[in-house]
Structure 1
Amino acid sequence: MDGTVLIADDDRTIRTVLTQALTRAGCRVHATGSLAQLSRWVEEGRGDLVITDVMMPDGNGIDMIPAIRSARPDLPVIVISAQNTIVTAIRATEAAAFEYLPKPFDLPDLMSSAGQALSRRVRKAEPAPAVAPSLTPVPENAADPTLPLIGHAPAMQNLFRMVARVLNADLPVMIAGEAGVGKTVVARSFHDLSDRRDAGFVVLTSADLSEEAIHRAGERAQGGTLLVEDPAGFDSAAQARLIGMIETWEAGPSRHQMPRLVSTTGPEPQTDVASGRLRADLYYRLAGVTISVPPLRARVDDIPPLARHLLARAAAQGLPQRALSQGAVALIRAHPFPGNVRELENLMRRLALTAAGTEISESEVRGALLESGLQPQAPPLSVAAANARPASVTVGAAPQGPAPAMAEPANMRLAQSVEMHLQRYFDLHGDHLPPPGLYDRILREIEKPLLELALDATGGNQLRCADLLGINRNTLRKKLTDLNIEVTRRRKLM
């Protein structure tokens, strides 16, 4: 890798890590914690690549991109941000950033993007505005569809990027996913965050099957967005009427006022086509691009922050302010949430109303799940719970009473010790299998004590700890947060 990289980030640790990595890769690096200094370097003609944070003490990195492109249209910009929301991804895309990476990022991913950007720097791009003249840029405080569209999980970041790329494209969008994942919220974001947001947003459901209702919805949505919810649930006559209306729009004189078509469907819309529930000609008119919304079980790392977000939103709507205890977080994370985000939101609102104190306990979460007719899953094996005995295992339907101690020979190998604990865990379930997800639960429980011991061994120095473990510094920070490892004076997050 060859070239000069300009880094702007107010986190000294990130500047240090990136400077070292890029220097080892053969680059020259200038790093600063100020956008003003970055601007001076750009104006002086320095740099072949910019890597900038969004929220800086003296401004917003995304807001600076148009000025960079005006002064140096061939200078690529990579945006990194801890604001892992769909709005940040859209604003970075609209500003023509070369790449957007959420924090904490994996260093190899950033290095790969930097290498691609530097390899293209020889291609001189024509000057172009950061936002197409016909589009209205999304403001930082753009309509918040009370988004549970937050998350660092790769599946969600891929969704954010796809939404950002096609937000203002003249293409119909089909949003696929299980019930409760937030398909309607994603659909609403296509309207609220697009250049159509000042026009109408109209929802067409299976209750609106008459020809008059369909055409009335189409007229109200002109210039805006028409959301067709579950078109496979429409009868064949209604599907035919909808096709006819779309054909009229496409061939008519007011085609420029045709609404953006957005539809929601189940996780496998092509199965609906194959079964005859959804007409193929309607499917192809609605599925210009298909976006899949992942279920919660595909992004378990996002469940704790999403739960906290939903509690905060409930408090903003007048419910009591609540926090989640460590045990409550573990139990929520272990639950499969077949109802996805909708189920999680209902659970958080219920707990906000019924919790005895300001902090929601594990037992209150368990009770709320049982009262809802749901069987709580076993929280992670409590091998690393605070001061817990190694033999202590928490199981949803395990017998009550203290577990008998298990003597471990002094010369027992780690693999034998782990096998003994796992065998006891299986034995506690008798003739039944443990709840699904055992592999991830065990890895998480091994990971936590490993991180705690490594932190103790390095005196809380996270750079040394990351080096000892052989992982990226930002990956370590994310794991400390996700595993709720207590921060002490010897373990300060940098």
Structure 2
Amino acid sequence: MDDQRNMRTTTALVLRTEGYTVSEAATGQEALDFLTSNSVDVLLTDLKMEPMDGLSLLRKALEAVPRLQVIVMTAFGSIDSAVEAMRLGAYDYITKPFKDGVLRHRVELALERARLLSQVNLFADEFNERHNLNALVGTSLAMRELKSRLLRVAQSDATVLIQGESGTGKELVARALHTHSRRSSNPFVPVNCAAISESLLESELFGHAKGAFTGAVKARRGLFEEADGGTLFIDEVTETSPAFQSKLLRALQEGEVRRVGESTSVRVDVRIVAATNRDIEIEVREKRFRQDLYYRLNVVTLRVPPLRERLEDVHDLARHFLERANARNSRPRRLSGSAVAHLMDYTFPGNVRELENLVEQAAALAEGEELMPEDFPVRPQAQITPSLGEVAAAFRAPGAPAQTLAEVVEEAERRAILQALERHEKDLARVADELGVSSTTLWRKMKRIKLLETGTGSEPHGK
């Protein structure tokens, strides 16, 4: 897509000689009309166009085809515009004038990513349908790993500890565990320890005899007994006192509970799934949580990632919440591409729960049928993209000479790769998947910036 005919024709010719099917558009609107009626993997567009510029086309194109890979072309003096395009969701940018080989390579990488995303989304949809995991929305690597681990542990009776920040969806994970266990036909019983006072929690979980305390006008079964044969989900387990923890530990060890005010115990067959939003190992070290209970609960751990670690899932989550809101409201809404880009600039301290509230609020209060950035009153935080000069300044020490563009890019790549290597324990395949490059490309980059000399990886096998 370029409004300069010679540039457009030459670029298309280069790509056609490589065997690609290429369609040309002289205006942004012409490109959009083609995108909405044809299957397109990669959009190559200039930024300086009229009447619709490249950034406007980018927003509208990603709104129409969210999985589209967009490469923007820009003059060297307009690098800031290219950075803005990347922030809005472009896959890559290329500065003019460019060599034919550079163009072919960038398009090849974009097509590779488009194919991988298509396969991932296809498998994810089939996977979710087959395993009834549609409530756990997201196709990011972190969510795929969580779902896979969940299904492996679900069939056992192992006690599971779910860790994650508030609002990440820990109860949804617990319910999915129960749904895929052999206990699925029996009760799933949740209890939030933070919502019940310490004096009532023991009675709530273990039950009580008639007259055991003021107000106990009749005997009552506790939640352990209610969950017999099924799953008991103990949420915010670190909010309990050491005294209560000792009673909970005994119930887990013995497989029986004693109602408050009674002298005999009742056998129960319950699978325990516990959850916490705190760092439980710190709680143990600080003597606020019993170590023996921690070991009893921490047979298998599932970590639910915060939303800021899987921002690629924001679009699917926002669309999911909007569909639910539309089902309740008489006036259906739709999500604009610019609104999605706006949301992805936000770090979501309240995680998925905060995104859900934002979407429901926008669906209820927006004036137009299309939700726009102004309908989501959030202020971008850590995701704000700095200018190229600010990036360069951040990578050099005070008083150091200015870096070239190549040096800035190399340092940025070094930091991104090192951080990904740490997150994925030096697994190059997973690092390449997160960074959106092939394993071979990752290895070459690591070799070029001398990361392989530190023993962080080895040459990959195959292509």
- TM-score of the pair, normalised by structure 1: 0.47
1 or 2, which has the higher helix percentage?
A: 2
Higher relative contact order at CA 8 Å, sep ≥6: structure 1 or structure 2?
A: 2
